[in-house]
Structure formats: structure tokens, C-alpha cells
Amino acid sequence: MFAVLTFDRDPALYQNVPAQLFAWIQGAGGWAAFGVLVWLLAGYTRMRAEDRARIAPWHKRIFVASVAVSFLAYLIAGGAWLAQFLPKVKPELAFLAYAYGITIGGAGALVAAGLSFVFGLTALRFRRIWALAKLSFKEAIRNRVLYGFSAMLLVLLFGSWFIPYKPEYQVRSYVGVVYWMMKILLLVTAIILAAFSIPTDIRRQTIHTIVTKPVERFEIVLGRFFGFTALMTLVLLLMTSVSVVYVLRGVDPEAAAESLKAREPFYGALHFENTGDKSKGTNVGREWDYRSYITAAAPNQEPQYAVWDFPEVPRSLASRDSVRCEFAFDIYRTTKGFENRGVSCKFEFQTAHFNEHDKDSYNADRSRWMSKGNLFSKKDIDEWLAGYRTRLAPQALAPLELNERLDNKRLRLMANPLEGDPPQYRLSDAAIENELAEEYGYYVVPAKDITDYHTMYIDVPAGLFRNALQAPSGNTGRPPLQARVSVTQQSATQYVGMAKYDLYWRLDDPKGGHEIAAFTLNFYKGAVGLWLRLCLVIGLAVALSTYLSGVISMLVAGMLYLGGGVIDYIQSIAFGTAPGGGPMEALFRLANRQVALVPLEESAAATLATSTDVVFRWFIRRVLDLIPDVDRYDLTSYVGEGFNIPWTQLWIDCGALSLYLLPWFVAAYYLLKWREIAGPT
Amino acid sequence: MQNDVIVETHKLTKIYRDFWGRQKKTALRALNIEIRQGEVFGLLGPNGSGKTTTVKLLLGLLYPTDGEAFVFGKPAADVGKNERIGYLPEESYLYRFLDAEETLDFYGRLFNLPPAQRRTKAQELIEKVGLKADRKRPLREYSKGMRQRIGLAQALINDPDLIILDEPTSGLDPLGARWMKDLIRDLRTLGKTVIMCSHRLEDVQDVCDRIAILNEGELQAYGEVQTLLQDHRRIELRASDLQLSDDLRRDLEELLRKHGGKLDTIGHPTTTLEDYFLRIVEESKAHPGRRFLPGKEPLPRVETVQRVEGRG
């Protein structure tokens, strides 16, 4: 059915973690350096001599050393940045020095800023944090905060009135609506609870009886954070359980059979052939450039191909009878085409062992063996094996291995003997396809009608995978497995759009019969995404409220969250990729009535405008470090489209959230520690 | 610092400043005091004199602008010192959604007390402050006096060596105030140190061993209550089993003249209104249903010693 998972960015992978970690050190380190500088100028200079004397000597030494390292590294980075404008300096070298400079500088600043924090952590006691967390939990419950969640009943009672009844949309709509409702209710409640808790304690002076006990002030921050998180986790768990039942009961059987799934996709890398550019196909003028398009070959031209390379083939797939290849493409029609017919495409699957010249031989064999009516004589089998032996000859296998392969094949072909004289052997169509795929490393579906955006599939014989996993026979320069798609001449005037994630193998068994259970588990995994966003707003609001008032904390946390929703746009401004440039360039264009896409004519005013934008962009990039990437935690589309959420994604997202919140918590530690809890009265 | 000195301030100064660092108000100026173990110390002064600021500085709720404060030999900002401190704020700022048991359990956890000890201690303190019948009611339903009692119980949950009480009798009825003062005396008997901050002078006089009087952030007087209040120019003589008569007056004037003094007043002394009130309430409890009818019954009489005052 209608299940298409599109990725605006690549899914999280472990191999990308080191790069993200470096980016974090650079970003958070920059802010740490700023914090240390402000403290040195405004805090240390005002510090009383007796308070300075109380700083431990080792603490001073580590602080001074890390500040010195940081300062030197930033100096080098600054020099490298300037050096890029010098003609004799290689830009790559300057960039490398700059990147190392800001990374080491950031790391040094992080050590300097985090030193007291880390040693302050040793004074924390779980029992006190637990007491404060329990207090937050009870406070929220007894103040009847949970009553607000009864609004969820509205969706449960009346939601189905508004949800489209078409089976194609049902699962996506049901999942979307319940997640959206949970998101709104939980996030708004969480942000209000977290933002007002510490300021209210300070205003009502209830905090006086806490900080006059042997309580580290940061324990209050952690207690509040864990208390509200625990409460929201329980509510989320309850709401998710109710929601999943609602979705499972609400979806009609047709949609349930088609869409309640949790596919485990195995993706490849996409490139195009005969389009003039390996990285993309034809641009059909669609504004959303997620997909690239191919069409049938014009006379005397090579056909255009969209090719997915699979550099690694999962071994587990080889033991099956067939492996499902799913795909969902976009169709761009230049003519009306035939009524009720899709666009015809050819699908070829081939391994590294497949020889292009064997295509004809494959087709001949296929026609011959398929025409046997599934009954084979001993002579047929011997002929098949003789042909196989001929094809294996160029591989120059050791006699032992060659005989083993032939014997195995003979056993498979003669596995289902029929009684009678002369003996006959039964081979199903699927078994024949499997044998041919394993023998040639090739499988073809000459024409399959593609309908717009519908997820379709081909069950590919698993013999192809067994072939792909056989020891390499010479270097063909091709990956172990390829899926090649082209548009047939039947649909010569139509274009088919593809993206990397539009075609994949199903790692889970589509015929396994556990789809509802997998969907349910996936639904809970989707809720983890919401849970991460809850942790994010609670942590952010609690940290901000250590210094700001409740209302301001709530607004700032809310704005940062909303900023995270449009982070791609802010990034485009920060890195100068937004059409029309930065604010000064845009103003200049507005004043001179120039459209955004036309390059600016060189003039002093234009140079001034673009140079000012460079400075502006630098500031925006610093602000960008403060904005959480909230979209990465939105896993609704996985659940709605029926795709399994990989555990990798969840673990990496947890790590990313921890790294985002850590600097905020360090800031909260210092702000609450330095803050005078009592006022003048 | 002497061994028995547990609170010590050196030139303790607090200046409140605005966001830009401009001076707004000097709340406390160069305060030097010492508080010894086992005494009840009173901080006295009118509103805005700096007594609550002093307490907040000692507790680390505020940081000094200048000078230093030490509690148990540690700087006042040190969290570790709080292990041995109990604090009752002026208003009992507790979580109103908790009941008495939960409140004491919560504060017990903050002292890392094990569960069994928390339970025992909570029951003991709830009985001590007389809230056994109300221990399951949320604090939002408590009267001011009951909140003050549970506030005191939380201040004692860790069996502290130093108890800091900010206006402990404010908002309490005379019965409650007497109860509070008796409790402070009990604490002294147990060897605890109490710092009491109040502007109810009679309470301070009743229970404090030593006092410091502050005004406009400056220390004005500091020492033992008895020494500070003694009027060395006068002599008080109390006698009983005597009838007040002109003869007695003449004889006394004669005697005092002989010693170079002169009689100022002679008459029946009065008790404090607090004592009188408490006696009436006690008697009323002893005779339920009894009431005073004006003109029908004599007024309840005060029994106290007769007093003769002379001036030398």
C-alpha cells in the first residue's frame, strides 16, 4: 500500500558518530571558552581574596593549563583562518590547522569549564536526588496536573470522524494523529512543569528549607529533571499503550493486512547510469529535489539506469527461499499513458559473479527449463549440470570444490523424485528460478508496472544471495549485489523518480506472520522519540529556570524547541546556502529590485552587504549550537509508514540528546551554585 | 576560635546591589559576634535591622560582601555544615501538598537517614510537636500554629547541634508561644545551641542567655541578657505574708533613709498577662462548662509575691 519512507537526511549510523562528536567539541567548546572568558573577566576579578585562597592548588593548576592550551589552540586556529587568504598557503592545510585548532581549543575550554562541575558530581547522593525527584512527582500529581491529559479522550472518542477512511491513508493518519496529540499534551505539560518548578520554590521560599539541609544545589536540578521525566515517562507509557490499542482496533482489516508492519530495510547506495551524471538523473522540474528521474532510452541511445549497489550482503538472507525487494517510486508523466496502467520498468538483479555475456544464455536456459512443466528427466538434469560445469570453467575452481558444487546441485535438482520408469523429478517454478539465480548470479523481471508512490515488491530468489556470497572469482570491479532499474520502451514517454531509500531488501521475513507484534513494538519505539523530546524540554526548561524566571524559562525553552523545528532553514542561513543570501544582501536586493537567484553585480555596496552577512552568519552559527535538532527525534514516519526503527537510531539519538543537554546542565550547575537563593527581604 | 564557640563572624558585611553592581542597601555592616555551644542566643532588632540577613548569611542563603562567617569552624557557604543545623524560617515554608509524615520523611531523606530511622524519628517528632491527630492531613489545611509546629519538627529531624529559629513565636497564640519557649529551654537543657531571631522582646527576655541588638545593620548591644537589663541604681525587695499599711510604709522609708536611699513605690506586683492568660485557660480546662458572669462572681485573683522597690 501507500508506504513510502523518505529521509531528509541519512539515518543515524555509528560510523558518523566520531564526526558528530568532533562537531560537538567544537560547538560546545566554543561556548565553554566564552563562559570561561566571562568568568575570568567578571567573576574572578570580583572574587574576594579569601574565596580565591580556598581554591585547591591542583584545581588551579589544571584550570590554568587547560585555559593556556585552549588559548594557544584558538590562536593557531585564528592564524590558520587568516592564512587561507594568503596566496602561498594551501587552503587544505589552512583548513586542517583551523579544524584542529578549534577542536583542541574547544576541548581545553571544556576541561576548564567542566572541572568544578565534574568534581562537584562526586558530592551528589542518590538518596537526596531520589527524594527530590519523588517530591516533584508527587507535586505534579497532587496539583492535579494529570487532569490535562484527559484531553486525549477527545481524540479517542472523536478522532476517527476526521481520519480518512481510505485504507491507503489509514495507518499513517491514525499513527500521525495519536502521536501528534501525545506530543502536544506531553510537551506543553512538561515544559510548564519544568520551567516553573525551581522559580516557584524560590518565590515561595520552600527552597530555603532544602538548601539549608546538606543538599548540593545541583541535586535540586537533577531531582526536578528526573522527577518530571519519570512522571512524563509513565504518562507516555500509558498513553502509548492506549494509542496502540486504538490504532490496532481502528484500522480496518484491509489496511491492517497491508500496512501494519515494521519492515526492516537494508539499503544500498544509488547511482545513475547513462544520465550524464552519476549522482543524479534527469531533472523534471519538481521543486522537491529528493528524487532523480530516469526514462526509457531514446533511439540509438543507451538505456538510463538507476542502480543500487549493495557492498555487503547479509548472510542471513541466503538461507531463505526468496528475499523481498521493496520499492516505491514517483512517476512523472509527460503523456497520459494507458488507462489504469502503471509505468513499466525492468528490474535486473545481479551479483559480482554475473557475466554480462551470459544474459542470452540465462534467458535461453530459463525458457527451456520453465517449459518443462516442472517435470525433469535424468537426461534434463544431466544436461543442466553439463551447462553449469561449462559456466564454472572460467572460474578455475579446484576439482574438489567444483565437484562439490555440482554434487550439491544434483542433489537439489533430484530432491523430489516421482515414482515411475523412467524416473522423473519435480521442480517448482520457484525452485527453477532459484537454481538459475544461484547458477548465474542474475535475476530479471522484464516488465513490472509501477504505480505512483505505492510500495511494491519483487520476491527475488534467494539463490542470487547464495551466489553473491560465494568466494570472489576475480575482480570484476562490481559490488557483490546490484539492483538495476530501467524504464521499458512500453512507457517511453514517462519518467520514474528514485531516491536512495526508495529501494531496499526486507531483512525481516514478510511471510513470518509476526507483523502486528512487530508493529506494536515499533509503535513503542516511536514513542521513545517523543520521550527523548520530553527529556529535552524538561532538561532545557529546568536548566534555564536556575537563572531565569518561570515564564521566561518557558518561553526560551519553547522558542529553542520551535527553532529546532526549523533548524534546516536556520542552517541554510548560517551556512549561506539560502537563496538571496543573508539579511543585508536580501535588503540590498530588495532596494535594487534584484531577484534572489540572479548573482549580484560587483559593486562596493554589494561587497559591503555580503561581507556584513559573513559576520552575521558567524553569529548565527554560534546560535545554531544552542538550538536542539528536534526533528531527528521524530520517528513518527517510521511507524506510520510501517518501517522498523533501528535500535542504532535510538542509541545514537540518546547519545546526541545527552551531549546537547550536558552543557546546559553544566551552566545550570554554576548558575544555581553562584546564585543567592534568598533575596533582600 | 575558642573550643565552645560554634558560630563566629568577622566583619560580616552584606551590601545588596542591583543588576549593574550599584549599591542599593547596606543590610549588615562589619558584624563581629561569637555564639557558644549550649546557649540560647537572641538576635534582636526592628524590621530591616539586619537580623534575618545575618541568619541567611550564616545559613549560606546569602553570600557576604565582605568579612567571613564560620559555623562549626567551616565557612557558612559550606554545605557540609548543614548536617548539624536545624532551621525554622519565619514563615514555615513547606510543601503544602505533603502531609506531616511525608514532610518529615522527605527532609529525613535529605539527611540521608535510613528508612527505619526516618520513620521512628518522624513519629517521635510528630508526637513532640502535638500533631499526631493531624499527621495525615496535607499541610495546606494546617493553621499557622500547626505549620510552625511541623516546621520545628523538620528543623529537628537530624537531631541538630545548632538550631536557628527565625521569629519562632510569630503567629502563634499565647499557648503556642509558651510551648515554643518551653521547647527552646528543653533544647538548651539537652546541650543544643539555639539562635533565635525575634522582635518580640518578652520572648527573647524569657529564653535567651545572650543577645545582640542590631539597628540599621549595625551591632548596637551584645552580651548577657541579665547583665544588659540589670538596673544597678535600684534595688528590688520582695516580701510575703504582709499587709500593706501606712505603718509599713513609714517603717520602710525610715529604714531606707538610714541607709541613704529612698522608697520609690510600694504595692502589689503584677504578673505578666501571658501567665494570667495561661492560668485562666488551664482553669477553664479543669472546670469545663464554667464561665464568667460579670457582677456575679469575683474576678479570678492573681497570686504572686508582693514587691517593694527602693532606690539607692
pLDDT at A299: 79
HEC string of chain B equals: CCCCEEEEEEEEEEEEECCCCCEEEEEEEEEEEEEECCCEEEEECCCCCCHHHHHHHHHCCCCCCEEEEEECCEECCCHHHHHHEEEECCCCCCCCCCEHHHHHHHHHHHCCCCHHHHHHHHHHHHHHCCCHHHCCCEHHHCCHHHHHHHHHHHHCCCCCCEEEEECCCCCCCHHHHHHHHHHHHHHHHCCCEEEEEECCHHHHHHHCCEEEEEECCEEEEEEEHHHHHCCCCEEEEEECCCCCCHHHHHHHHHHHHHCCCEEEEEECCCCCHHHHHHHHHHHHHHCCCCCCCCCCCCCCCCCCCEEEEEEC
CB distance B45 to B166 below 8 Å: no
CB contact set of A506 (below 8 Å; sequence gap of 6+): A263, A264, A265, A266, A323, A324, A325, A326, A457
Name the residue among A48, A128, A210 with its Cβ closest to that of B112: A128
d(CA A278, CA A294): 12
CB contact set of B11 (below 8 Å; sequence gap of 6+): B30, B31, B32, B66, B67, B68
pLDDT, one tens digit per residue, over B181-228 is: 999 999 999 999 999 998 788 888 889 999 999 888 888 888 888 887
DSSP one-letter code for A512: S
d(CA A306, CA B101): 71
From B69, B10, B14, select the one nearest B217 (Cα to Cα): B14
pLDDT at A281: 86
- Which SS3 state, helix, strand or coil, does residue A185 take? helix
CA-CA-CA-CA torsion sign (A241, A247, A253, A256)? negative
Q: Which amino acid is at A30?
A: G
CA angle A224, A225, A226 (to 5 degrees): 95
Q: State the average pLDDT over residues A530-541.
A: 97
Burial A398-416 (b: 16+ CB within 10 A, else e): eeeebeebeeebeeebeee
CB contact set of B207 (below 8 Å; sequence gap of 6+): B40, B42, B181, B184, B185, B188, B194, B196
CB distance A669 to A34 below 8 Å: no
**pLDDT higher than threshold 90 for residue B87:** yes
Cell triple for B234: 535600684
Q: For A91-166, where are the alpha helices, taking DSSP H only?
A: 91-121, 126-142, 152-162
CB distance A454 to A328 below 8 Å: yes
Q: Is there a contact between B79 and A135 if contact means CB atoms under 8 Å apart? A: no
Cell triple for B64: 557576604
Q: Is there a contact between A212 and B91 if contact means CB atoms under 8 Å apart? A: no
Q: Mutate which of A209, A211, A222 to test chain B, going by most B C-beta atoms within 10 A?
A: A209
Distance from CA of B182 to the nearest CA of A (A): 23
Residues in chain A within 8 Å Cβ distance of B59: 208, 212
Residues in chain A within 8 Å Cβ distance of B94: 206, 209
For A207, list phi and psi in degrees, rounded to 5. Answer: -70, -20
Q: Which amino acid is at A327?
A: F
Cell triple for B180: 515554643
Strands B262-267 and A494-498: what pairing?
unpaired
**pLDDT higher than threshold 50 for residue B312:** no
| Closest chain A CA to residue B114 | A127
Q: How many CB pairs under 8 A join A and B?
A: 84
pLDDT at B32: 93
CB distance A2 to A172 below 8 Å: yes
pLDDT, one tens digit per residue, over A641-657 is: 888 999 999 999 999 99
B5-229 to CATH, choices 3.40.50.300, 1.10.10.10, 3.40.250.10, 3.90.1310.10: 3.40.50.300
Q: Is there a contact between A139 and B95 if contact means CB atoms under 8 Å apart? A: yes
Q: How many CB atoms lie within 10 A of CB A551?
A: 11
Q: Is there a contact between A142 and B112 if contact means CB atoms under 8 Å apart? A: no
Strands B162-166 and B193-198: what pairing?
parallel
Residues in chain A within 8 Å Cβ distance of B73: none
pLDDT, one tens digit per residue, over A650-676 is: 999 999 999 999 999 999 999 999 888
Q: How far is CA A192 from the centre of its chain?
A: 29
CB distance B107 to A213 below 8 Å: yes
pLDDT at B1: 46
As for the ipTM of the complex, it is 0.83
Burial of A504 (0-12, 13-18, 19+ CB in 10 A): buried
d(CA A446, CA A485): 10
pLDDT, one tens digit per residue, over A615-648 is: 999 999 999 999 999 999 999 888 988 889 999 9
Distance from CA of A129 to the nearest CA of B (A): 8
Residues in chain A within 8 Å Cβ distance of B151: 209
For A466, list phi and psi in degrees, rounded to 5. Answer: -65, -35
Q: State the average pLDDT over residues A66-76.
A: 96
**pLDDT higher than threshold 60 for residue A42:** yes
d(CA A63, CA A44): 13
- Between B230 and A61, the higher pLDDT residue: A61
% residues pLDDT > 90 (chain A): 46
d(CA B182, CA B177): 9
- Between B23 and A72, the higher pLDDT residue: A72
A604-624 vs A567-574: helix axis angle to the nearest 10? 140
pLDDT at A475: 60
From B37, B42, B35, select the one nearest B202 (Cα to Cα): B42
d(CA A369, CA A357): 20
Residues of A engaging B, defined by a Cβ cutoff of 8 Å? 48, 50, 54, 123, 125, 127-128, 130-131, 134-135, 138-139, 142-143, 204-206, 208-216, 676-678, 680-681
pLDDT at B3: 60
Q: For A251-358, where are the alpha helices, taking DSSP H only?
A: 253-259
Residues in chain B within 8 Å Cβ distance of A214: 79-80, 82-83, 110-112
pLDDT, one tens digit per residue, over A165-210 is: 676 678 888 888 889 989 999 999 999 999 999 999 999 899 999 9
Cell triple for A546: 536556575
Residues making up chain B, counted from first to last: 312
Place of cell 517530591: A135
Q: Is there a contact between A130 and B109 if contact means CB atoms under 8 Å apart? A: yes
pLDDT at B304: 53
DSSP one-letter code for A453: T
d(CA A541, CA B30): 39
pLDDT, one tens digit per residue, over A219-261 is: 999 999 999 999 999 999 999 999 999 888 888 887 777 678 8
pLDDT, one tens digit per residue, over A491-510 is: 778 889 999 999 999 998 88
| Closest chain A CA to residue B52 | A681
pLDDT at A236: 94
Q: Is there a contact between A676 and B62 if contact means CB atoms under 8 Å apart? A: yes
pLDDT, one tens digit per residue, over A93-122 is: 889 999 999 999 999 999 999 999 999 999
Distance from CA of A98 to the nearest CA of B (A): 37
**pLDDT higher than threshold 70 for residue B20:** yes
**pLDDT higher than threshold 60 for residue B309:** no
% residues pLDDT > 70 (chain B): 92
pLDDT at B299: 60
- Which SS3 state, helix, strand or coil, does residue A345 take? strand
Burial A427-440 (b: 16+ CB within 10 A, else e): beeebbbbbbbbbb
- Which SS3 state, helix, strand or coil, does residue A619 take? helix
Q: State the average pLDDT over residues B154-167.
A: 93
d(CA A545, CA A539): 10
From A62, A72, A64, A65, select the one nearest A104 (Cα to Cα): A72
Burial B123-144 (b: 16+ CB within 10 A, else e): eebbeebebeebbeebbeebee
Q: How many CB atoms lie within 10 A of CB A370?
A: 14
From A657, A527, A646, select the one nearest A14 (Cα to Cα): A646
The CB-based long-range contact list for B24-29 (8 Å cut-off, 24+ gap) reads B24/A680, B25/A680, B26/B217, B27/A680, B27/B53, B27/B217, B28/B53, B28/B54, B28/B57, B28/B214, B28/B217, B29/B217, B29/B218
- Between A546 and B17, the higher pLDDT residue: A546
CA-CA-CA-CA torsion sign (A241, A244, A250, A252)? negative
From A532, A520, A548, A550, select the one nearest A639 (Cα to Cα): A520
pLDDT, one tens digit per residue, over B256-306 is: 999 988 888 888 877 777 777 778 778 777 877 777 666 666 666 655 544
pLDDT at B306: 47
CB contact set of B30 (below 8 Å; sequence gap of 6+): B11, B12, B13, B66, B67
Q: State the average pLDDT over residues A141-169.
A: 76
Residues in chain A within 8 Å Cβ distance of B106: 131, 134-135
CB distance A522 to A345 below 8 Å: no
pLDDT at A230: 96
Distance from CA of A122 to the nearest CA of B (A): 14
- Which SS3 state, helix, strand or coil, does residue A505 take? strand
- Which SS3 state, helix, strand or coil, does residue A350 take? strand
Name the residue among A50, A205, A208 with its Cβ closest to that of B68: A50
DSSP one-letter code for A6: -
Give me the residue spans of the domains in chain B: 5-229, 234-288+300-311
d(CA A199, CA A205): 9
H or E element at residue A309:
strand A305-310
% residues pLDDT > 70 (chain A): 97
Residues in chain B within 8 Å Cβ distance of A142: 97, 138
Q: Is there a contact between A215 and B79 if contact means CB atoms under 8 Å apart? A: yes
Residues in chain A within 8 Å Cβ distance of B102: 138
pLDDT, one tens digit per residue, over B48-67 is: 888 889 999 999 999 999 99
**pLDDT higher than threshold 70 for residue A142:** yes
Q: State the average pLDDT over residues B144-156.
A: 91
DSSP one-letter code for A147: G
